Chains A and B, each alone.
Chain A
Amino acid sequence: MKNRLKVLRAERDWTQAQLANELQVSRQTVNAIEKGKFDPSLPLAFKAARLFELAIEDIFQDDVAT
């Protein structure tokens, strides 16, 4: 699963630690999600979408080309 978390975070000038704090996860988890090494659960994806005020599909995209 691809995601735009790093871009969205950079646009807001937030650090990984700040984003992690807002999502109530560790900084390592934010880093792993940004690198595509860990796919977040649906509740965590919804939390990120609420935080960035975007739809989930604007942040996370399926790897399989449609």
Chain B
Amino acid sequence: MNEFNTNSNSWAANTAKNTALLGLWTGAWVLTMAVANFGPKWIWQSNELLTMLAILINLGVGFGMILANKRHLNGLDEMHQKIQLEAMALSLGVGLVVGLAYSNLDVTNFIAFDADISHLVILMALTYLVGIFAGFRKYR
């Protein structure tokens, strides 16, 4: 077994590194999102230049997070890639179908409040979590 050990250890280390990097990028994205959202009101009193800068930084960090996620997915083994694929398919499908139905309810005034994009994000995140949980149970 020894002849493979160096490569396999580097694979495990690489997976751990990719996961840690994704966590860092996600944390940075959430932080820059909060700054872009609350900064204009609480930090720099609606200075347009600073607001635009904060939004651009959030966008840039967001793209970094997307690349980190791609690298993380590519580094996973094939069963975990399948679990992720099925969870993302569920999340995307539910987000699209329920999101548009929700929008229709708003447009046709079947609901008294405005359809908020954050509701869709929460729905997709929860669906993704359910998908991941179901995938781990399926292959346990």
Contacts and interface: CB of A to CB of B under 8 A. Distances in A.
Interface of B is mostly: helix
The 5 closest A-B pairs by CB, nearest first: A25-B77, A32-B139, A29-B79, A24-B11, A21-B8
Interface of A: 14, 18, 21-26, 28-29, 31-33, 37-38, 40-41, 44, 51
B1 A26 contact: no
Contacts of A24: 7-8, 11-12, 77
B78 interface: yes
5 contacts: A21-B5, A23-B8, A25-B79, A26-B77, A29-B139
Interface string B80-119: 1010000000000000000000000000000000000000
Interface of B: 1, 4-5, 7-9, 11-12, 77-80, 82, 136, 138-140
A14 B140 CA distance: 20
